[in-house]
Amino acid sequence: MSESWIQEELKAALDEVYRPAPWLLSSCIAAVRRGRPRRRAWAWVAGIAAFALAIGSVALLLSIRLSMISPTHPAGQPETSLPPPVPQPITRSSRGAQVAWLWVQSQGQRPYLVAIDPSGRMGARFDQSTAPGVAGLYGNWRSADGSFIFTLGSDHVTAYSAMDGSVQRTYPRAAGVVVGDAFSPDGHWLAILVLGADLRLEVIDLRSGSSQVLTVGHDPNARLPGMTCSGCAGSVVWGMVVFAPDSTHLYTVTDWGGPLRLTAFSVAAAGLTQTATAVDGQQGRAFPACAGPGMAAKVVAGGQTLVAFCHFDGAVWFFDLGRLTSSGVVKTDQLNPFGLAPIFTPDGQLLYLHLATPSENAMQVVDLAHHRLLGPKPTPTKPGQDGPFAWLATGAYAGGVASTVPVSPDGLKLYAASRDGVMVLRIPDLKPLARLGPGLKVDEVWISGDGQTVYATVDGGKLLVVMGANGIVRSVTLPSPGAGFIASEHG
């Protein structure tokens, strides 16, 4: 009976739960190694005892993990519960923030933007001749307060009024390919990651028009799983920018295919400063990796924690921003890449993960404070039903990289598109409150800044349906199918 045999047998016994408990394996192997030749029999007894202890411990850990992932309804009051939502103030009250903006694309043509107001009237339209930024490589953005639409040019960014499409201001920017962007919550700053001769973070002051630029560390040999282009490492960077709620701290996450780098910055009118950086494999850090380019992230817990969601494998990462260390990973039930649509609640307490297939509609939720996964649970489809997480709180259609985060501005309701209208679900238990537009095959949903108007694309983007608080439904035929919303937040 060799040491390698013990190791392989233990791995087989632990199966999928081996990875979170490597110390058990090392402990039982160490027990065998410590035995002296003249006491070999006692050494094997110690090793076998450690082996049995490891198996028993893992069985206990596995039972705990399974009870957390697939909880059953307790007989009495649960010991833990999902936190009640923190009502958010309605800040997107400008007229422009109530207007929906969509990108549409006719066959053989480049995408363009159209605006539709709460009355269902189609307003401004940006095509290639009037908005050259629309034809850029990266895309279009909406400001944090919803009042402006931004388009990207080769060396500038243009801001348009979301109300009527009039040009408001043009901002110079550093030349290069934009690979990540973020608006500060207070609307003061626009941060972009630009890849040129090197990778740079540029922060534009949207009030004064000035900008600040710093080089961001990047591994030119970073792994890019799934990329098949030749020379990708020198011309492609995976990166994103995330602001903290205070709008004065921001973070970049780069090279998440491996080795991941997390960098912290502070921003103020006086200057942009890098405050710390950490890289997987350096100074004792061990960071996870994501095998695809799609990531979504949010800074929560009062600016103390960065939560990131990997679209490829569905893992939810947690980073301690005070120490720039990994503070845990939650594995979700995602069978196929890009199968789940992440929806962060505005208060930063929960992350809903919406599954959408023609045959299965379900919801998972991650309690971000306690790193707890609940679900998946079938999403109820009839008003009056209990929510899937009702016991933890005092067929929806979604999935993939959603272009919106369909949560009401006050953070109390989630709007889920379905093949039979839009389900209005209560946060946190997802109890159905109402169904809007029954009979409509809804693709995506966007909520106006004041929460009074619901916009939904229907039948593969052929129609836009506008639903007001009084239940009136208006249908607008879009210029071409395949439309998607330009929103302040996206999955």
What is the chain's pLDDT, residue by residue, as a tens digit (491 residues)? 333 333 343 333 333 332 233 323 333 333 333 333 333 333 333 343 433 433 343 333 333 333 333 333 333 334 458 999 999 999 999 999 999 999 887 776 777 889 999 999 988 887 644 444 433 435 689 999 999 999 988 899 999 999 999 999 999 999 999 999 999 999 999 999 999 989 999 999 999 999 999 999 999 889 999 887 666 666 789 999 999 999 999 999 999 999 999 999 999 988 999 999 999 999 999 999 999 999 999 999 999 999 999 999 999 999 999 999 999 999 999 988 998 999 999 999 999 998 866 667 788 999 999 999 998 888 777 776 777 776 554 444 445 666 687 899 999 999 988 888 898 999 999 999 999 999 998 889 999 999 999 999 998 889 999 998 777 889 999 888 778 899 988 76
Q: Are 263 and 276 in contact (CB under 8 A)?
A: yes
Retrieve residue 206's tokens: 């949207």
For residue 183, the cross-strand partners are: 190
Contacts of 353 (CB under 8 A, 6+ apart): 309, 314, 332, 334, 340, 341, 342, 343, 363, 364, 365, 366, 375
Contacts of 368 (CB under 8 A, 6+ apart): 300, 301, 305, 307, 318, 348, 349, 350, 351
In a 13 Å sphere around the CA of 358, the CA atoms on its Cβ side amount to 0
Q: Are 375 and 365 in contact (CB under 8 A)?
A: yes
Compute how many other C-beta atoms are within 10 angstroms of the C-beta atom of residue 149.
Answer: 28
What pLDDT shows up at residue 232? Answer: 67
- Which residue bears the tokens 């929960």? 350
What pLDDT shows up at residue 356? Answer: 64
324-329 contacts, C-beta under 8 A, 24 or more apart: 324/262, 324/264, 324/276, 324/277, 324/278, 324/285, 325/278, 325/285, 326/285, 326/286, 326/287, 326/288, 328/371, 329/288
Retrieve residue 414's tokens: 């989630």
pTM, 2 dp: 0.79
Q: Are 200 and 176 in contact (CB under 8 A)?
A: yes
Measured distance CA(415)–CA(437) in Å, rounded: 12
What pLDDT shows up at residue 123? Answer: 86
What pLDDT shows up at residue 479? Answer: 81
What pLDDT shows up at residue 224? Answer: 92
User: 289 — phi, psi (to 5°)?
Assistant: -135, 150
Measured distance CA(70)–CA(134) in Å, rounded: 45
How far apart are the two ends of the chain, measured CA to CA in Å? Answer: 52
Retrieve residue 14's tokens: 């632990």
Q: Are 181 and 132 in contact (CB under 8 A)?
A: no
